[in-house]
Amino acid sequence: MSEAQNRDTAERRPTRPGLLAALCIAALALCSGPAAAVVVVPDGGITVHGSPADVRRGIDIAHDAGARWISLGWTWEQLEPAPGNLDGPAWDDLGGELAYAKSRGMNVELRFTNAPPWASGKNGRDDDPPTPEHAQDYGDFLAAVATRFGDMIDAYSPWNEPNISNFWNPVSPEAYTAVQKVAYASIKAKDPTATVLSATIVGTYPNAYGYLRRAYAAGLKGSADVIGWNSYPHGEPESSYSDENGLPSGSSLPGQLYLRDLINQYDPGRKVWIMELSWSTCVPCIGFPANGATEAQQADYLSRTFAYRRRYLTDITERIFWFELRDGGTEPHNWEHHQGLVRRDFSGKPALAAFTAAGIDVPEGAPLPGTSAVDTPVGVGGTALPPAAVRQTPPATAASKKGRIALGKPTLTGRRGRFTLSISVAVSGGAARLRIQGYRGTRWRDIRTLSVPRSGRLTIGFPDKAYLGIRVLATIPGIGLRAGRVVRVKVGGSPARTAP
């Protein structure tokens, strides 16, 4: 991502109030009655960056939208422009951002890039890494950050996108891993309870999986609490498409399923945080047109992204950060200028409300719930199939003198982002026409139409697009018979149950 975007992680570390404080809290709860509830998105975060004033305003918007995690980005060069120069206005600005985030009850992931010229040996580039002889200098810098601000930082990302030359030139998983080892040890020595991510690997670029394999071969295991990943899906969030090696692309959500299998070969159980994910409302876009969307699509895709995570990725993808809170500019078709949940003037896009709709009610002041304690979001219409959607469906059997059609009780299973529907069809008097539909938002949406010439049992597979229910409508053209069946999708995905 651009340098502007670079200015821009484990559950929040618990505090341990004393006995007197705990008794006071309990007494207040008894006297004041139930605490007011606020909306929180436990498995979501938002990247916030800009001037100090813009960051504070962005933190307020993110908090009110339900985020309790934010990602901030700084550069090593800003904070240590000369060897040992670990003071100055930039440190004050960073400390101010962190303190304000904490005052709003936010968890903070802090990401660094860009070695100063004295440590990179280069001039004129924005994001050069340190040379090997300066890797320990970088570790010392991170240790200084952790010493000064560790009580306000919950997670650290030592670098961004080292698998592309914009941020690490020449690209070298081995050179990166050597720096990661130093960074991890240095941070943990000063802030042992913090989460230290790997550098955020960008799945959009070729051979992202191969890069991670080589990093593990170079010794990454043991030097990252979480694997950081950046993902910009092409098209719909559930879309599956291949990379240059015929594998599920690392830019896609289905690619996370492959990533789980890969990580388990080297580092079983290690979780992933997607630190950048968004669709840009730059339609028609330049620069990255495959990731463009209208504002309405952006909101829909956001909701479906969290549904996919909660249904299929809970054992790998622990958290997803939207990149970014605010549009980066105003050029109408510039991809990097329109990724935000709010426009450049801070007015909200529909996606901001969609982010909030992905949240759950939590008592004011209560600890942040775990990422498994959330229901599947669907935006408008709630998290369960509305009774009215079922009432719109005809009975399962219809008959006349000219023919008959009957639909058996369907079964629906979900695995790795796809549903499999199985249903028996009894038909006489002509071929039946079956429409398979899914309910999302406020209406039924067509998935597939097929012809059934004779009685039998059908098995049909299709992507799960955050549907709350699946409906089968059967007709025999020409004789006016209609039958239907509905399967409710339980919140959280399969298994499913048939509607009465």
pLDDT digits (tens, 9 = 90+) for 187-200: 999 999 999 999 99
176 and 303 assigned to the same domain:
yes
Structure tokens at 339: 């990724």
- Does residue 124 belong to any structural domain of this protein? yes
342 and 400 assigned to the same domain:
no
Q: Which CATH number belongs to the domain containing residue 145 in this structure? A: 3.20.20.80
328 and 400 assigned to the same domain:
no
How crowded is residue 300: how many other Cβ atoms within 10 Å of its Cβ?
Answer: 23
CB 162 within 8 A of CB 199: yes
350 and 434 assigned to the same domain:
no
- Does residue 222 belong to any structural domain of this protein? yes
* pLDDT for res 149: 98
How crowded is residue 382: how many other Cβ atoms within 10 Å of its Cβ?
Answer: 13
How crowded is residue 206: how many other Cβ atoms within 10 Å of its Cβ?
Answer: 14
Structural domain span for residue 410: 387-498
- Does residue 263 belong to any structural domain of this protein? yes
- Does residue 17 belong to any structural domain of this protein? no
Amino acid at 324: E
CB 226 within 8 A of CB 10: yes
Helix or strand or coil: residue 279? coil
* pLDDT for res 77: 95
The angle formed by the CA atoms of residues 44, 307 and 213, to the nearest 5 degrees, is 70
95 and 170 assigned to the same domain:
yes
* pLDDT for res 474: 97
- Helix (H), strand (E) at residue 184: helix 173-190
* pLDDT for res 378: 67
* pLDDT for res 135: 98
The number of folded domains in the chain is 2
**Domain limit, last residue, from 347, 363, 379:** 363
180 and 39 assigned to the same domain:
yes
Tell whether omega for the bond before 394 is within 30 degrees of 0, i.e. cis.
no
* pLDDT for res 2: 44
Q: 107-113 and 69-75: which strand pairing? A: parallel
List the alpha helices (DSSP H) in 199-334.
Answer: 208-217, 254-266, 295-312
How crowded is residue 264: how many other Cβ atoms within 10 Å of its Cβ?
Answer: 13
Written as one string, the DSSP assignment of 308-369 is HHHHH-TTTEEEEEES-SB-S---TTBGGGS--SB-TTSPBPHHHHHHHHT-EEEETTPPPP
- Does residue 98 belong to any structural domain of this protein? yes
* pLDDT for res 18: 39
Helix or strand or coil: residue 51? coil
Positions of the chain with pLDDT lower than 70, given as ranges: 1-35, 124-126, 378-382, 491-500
403 and 357 assigned to the same domain:
no
How crowded is residue 249: how many other Cβ atoms within 10 Å of its Cβ?
Answer: 24
- Does residue 324 belong to any structural domain of this protein? yes
Q: Which CATH number belongs to the domain containing residue 484 in this structure? A: 2.60.40.150
34 and 147 assigned to the same domain:
yes
Residue with tokens 């639909």: 407
Beta bridge partners of 197: 226
**Domain limit, last residue, from 331, 363, 395:** 363
At 210-262, the pLDDT tens digits run 999 999 999 999 999 999 999 999 999 999 999 999 999 999 999 999 999 99
